[in-house]
Amino acid sequence: MKVVLRSDVDGVGHAGSVVDVADGFARNHLIPRGLALRATQGTVTQAAAMARARAARDLRERTTAERVAKQLVADGVTIAARAGSGSHLYGSVTSADIAAAMSARTGAEVDRRKLKLAAPIRTVGSHDVFAQLHPDVAFTFNVEVVALS
């Protein structure tokens, strides 16, 4: 049965694509869960519009991710946090804190889940953070944690 996918389905395809799947899989899984529609002339036209919209959104997101990467690799981010003696922080700097600082610095909304930290930052100093803001844009940038006066 030919169906138009309404959202990404692992192992089947991406949203907006027209795929041929087993009848039972379409009737019992994809269509009842709202993941797909039966392919008719109207839904195929709708799928083409969805594919164009997805391509435009992907291009916008990639351009924004490249701009953010260019800014952050060059300069990094500075975060002020309360610190005690011995350069240990009261609490920690998390990926949410870093994402907020990135958003404030670049003006682009950054999702904390796109940042990879081995563990929360608990000391004052320079730390490297890996970010993958888009499937094609991955970079490492510097986060400088300074003691709040």
In the chain, what are the domain boundaries?
Answer: 2-59, 61-147
Lowest mean pLDDT among 9-18, 69-78, 94-103, 115-124: 9-18
Query: In whole numbers, what is the pLDDT of the chain averaged over residues?
Result: 91
Is residue 47 a contact partner of residue 7, using CB atoms and an 8 Å limit? no
Q: Which residue has the higher pLDDT, 148 or 146?
A: 146
Per residue in 70-102, pLDDT (tens digit) is 999 998 999 999 998 888 999 999 999 999 999
What pLDDT is recorded for position 25?
A: 94
CATH number of 2-59: 3.40.5.10
- Kindly list the distances between the CA atom of residue 22 and the CA atoms of 19, 31, 46, in Å, as whole numbers in the listed order: 10, 12, 22
Say which amino acid occupies 25: F
- Kindly list the distances between the CA atom of residue 149 and the CA atoms of 46, 82, 84, in Å, as whole numbers in the listed order: 57, 8, 11
What pLDDT is recorded for position 66?
A: 95
What pLDDT is recorded for position 50?
A: 78
| pTM (two decimals) | 0.72
Per residue in 105-114, pLDDT (tens digit) is 999 999 999 9
Domain 61-147 part of CATH 2.30.38.10: no
> For residue 93, what is the enclosing H or E element?
strand 88-93
What mean pLDDT comes out for the span 115-135?
A: 93
What pLDDT is recorded for position 149?
A: 67
Per residue in 29-67, pLDDT (tens digit) is 999 999 999 999 888 888 888 788 888 999 999 999 999
